[in-house]
Amino acid sequence: MRTVTSVGVVVVLVLLVAGTGLAVDPGDGDQLSPVPFDRTLTTGLTGVDVEQAREAGHVVPRGQVFYSQYEYVVGYYGTDALVAGVTGPQHTAQFGRPLAVFVTDLAGTDPKLTDEGDVTLPDAASPGWARAGDAWFVVGTPARTPAGPTALPFADRAAAREFAREHDGTVVDWEGLRERLADEDAGGDRKPPVADRQRWADRAVERTRGSRDRPVSMVVGTDQQAVLAATDRPSTSSGSPSPVVLGEDAPTLAAAVGRAPPNTTIRLLPGRYDANLTVEKSLTVAGSGTDTVLDGGGDGSVVTVGTSDVAITDLRIVGVGDANAGQLESDDGSAWDRRIRLTYGYGDAAVRLRDADRSLVENVSVDTPSNGIVALDSDGVVVRNVAVNGTDGLAGFMSVLPMYSRMVVEDSHFDGGRDAVYAHYADGTVVRDNHIENLRFGFHDMYTSDTLVVNNTIRDVNTGLYVMTRPSGNAMVGNDIRNSSIGISTAGSASYVNGNVVAGNEIGLSIGTTRSTYRGNTVVDNGVGVRLTTMLPTNDVFENDVVRNDRSVSPGMATLVSWAVDGRGNYWGTVPGVDRDGDGVVDRTYDPTDSVDRNARHSPVANALAYSPAAQLFDQFQQAAPGLREPSVVDPAPLTGPVHPGRLETHNVTTP
């Protein structure tokens, strides 16, 4: 297990009790030296980005900071994250002032840039460390990390100038870098482009509509009279569809599909069809509703699509094989995710798409013991108005599985199986307006960034929305998750969790991200309202309603996490304190993890103790001395009224 270096072993705190308060003098940090980076608490890039850069041999500039009021050394991937970590008011308020800041020293390593701007070091050179105040930074070059353009640090000014000359950059010192990045970040907003992602999804849906309007080239059925009636004549003529009676005009459905001209529609009449069908031209295969049944006979995938602009619509699929794993068609994945690709991407499915950009699966009902719809390397696929019925428990697999495919999943119903939507390297996927119940995870994010998961209704699952593997830029907005073990569980960075309802769960919201925003959520009637699983207090948590949970907050190992932004905290119900100026904020800090504050509303004794000078002095002392802090969350600006009173009223919560 990775160890984490504690500043407390090298920093002696001198507490000076003077008059009305306490002061901390931790020294100037000159005695501190860098620690092995794997012994720091890291932030700045996702785990996915770090792993991919390492495998590719690319170097990401790093930094590490010793803080006066935080017992761990914090490691930063990227110079922009480092600057934010030593200048942001949230960091200084919660960590204290930086005692010592160290950066990667590229002097003497002869760094090179690839055509894409990635940094490489010849002969596997290993950079050392330099104090940030003594270093020189090259900015304005093509150099970049997975997070974007980056400054490169050098302890030697001559080396920095040489690199700047080679790559048309500029050399600045530490203060110059801080000023430059502060100017670039002015007016920044953590809110991702939710509206832009909705518009992309709308365009993707619109692009597939043309496949619904293709001319009918063939009517297929098993009954001759029904086929002839559907085509209005026994033979073909120019512009009219061809009648195809299976067993007479074509031996199988696959043979009939093979005869159809591209960019046309094959209409399937009601009936049961032996499938295991492969579509390798741009066609629309349209049934007549759930009375049109494609049966795979329990062997393999029922429909396999191997080209773009294919539509499978208005039918039912049964008889899917039960294999959750398959054989890789080519060894095109890196070693570290090859097993996942094999296990999760190549099993049996009702519909399996490969290289099938802009394809559509619509109005399709699926019964499956394994996967429902799997998309590999298929951009812009739309899955809408489908119903996937999986098996009970964990015996089944994924209802919808986009892998290396940006997809829209909307207006669908998922019941049973393992996960409703499992996204693997499916950056930008949009999952909206679905109903999900009775499975493991509603939305399962693996290595997938920049998603939008919006307006989904989720009931009776293990975890409603589960974001793993430290991706970035994901948005979870307006979802309603109830009666589950965990409502929303997040990891990664730069995510946006807004306007969700998590109610009646064992844990409402589990926060494991960094540099993310949690705003406008209704967290009510859960066993634990909010659980923290990160030690770095870098998230913005404000304007949430967190009420009537058995336990409002479980802080984990976090110390002195502050939840408020621009003077606006969260609504906790009735808390100690008053709003003297009528601005809607209680004029007293509230600690939902403190037993005195937590019980003040129920106990006159606890309420009196909450206002006592002794309790306030002890709180100040704990905040000044990190070694004495208990894991805690504080709200310096608790709200006097709910953010979404209408939502609370539906749960019979009395509000002011």
Residues 486-503 pLDDT 10s = 999 998 888 999 999 999
SS3 522: strand
In Å, how far from its chain's centre is CA 580?
40
Distances from the Cα of 449 to the Cαs of 179, 377, 464, in angstroms?
30, 16, 18
Q: Is the dihedral of CA 124, 125, 129, 130 positive or negative?
A: negative
The pLDDT tens digits of the residues spanning 589-633 come to 999 987 666 555 555 544 544 455 555 544 554 444 444 446 678
pTM recorded for the entire structure: 0.81
CA distance 179 to 566: 22
SS3 324: coil
Name the residue among 480, 613, 635, 628 with its Cα closest to residue 552: 635
CA distance 625 to 560: 11
CA distance 641 to 567: 15
- At residue 516's C-alpha, the angle toward residues 643 and 383, to 5°, is 90
CA distance 534 to 536: 6
Find out whether 636 and 569 touch, Cβ atoms under 8 Å: yes
Distances from the Cα of 655 to the Cαs of 545, 641, 651, in angstroms?
11, 7, 11
Which residues 6+ apart lie within 8 Å of 204 measured at CB?
Answer: 358, 380, 382, 408, 430
CA distance 530 to 512: 11
pLDDT in the model for residue 181: 72
CA atoms within 13 A on the CB side of 296: 28
CA distance 596 to 605: 9
Kind of pairing, strands 265-268 and 148-149?
unpaired
| 537: its two tokens | 């207090």
CA atoms within 13 A on the CB side of 390: 32
SS3 1: coil
Name the residue among 411, 419, 404, 313 with its Cα closest to residue 360: 313
CA distance 164 to 189: 31
Q: Which amino acid is at 111?
A: P
Q: How far apart are the first and last CA of the chain?
A: 49
pLDDT in the model for residue 538: 79
CA distance 409 to 581: 48
Name the residue among 299, 494, 525, 493 with its Cα closest to residue 509: 525
Which residues 6+ apart lie within 8 Å of 609 measured at CB?
Answer: 596, 600, 615
Give me the residues of the chain with pLDDT under 50, please.
1-3, 6-27, 186-188, 234-238, 332-333, 335-336, 605-606, 608-610, 617-618, 621-629
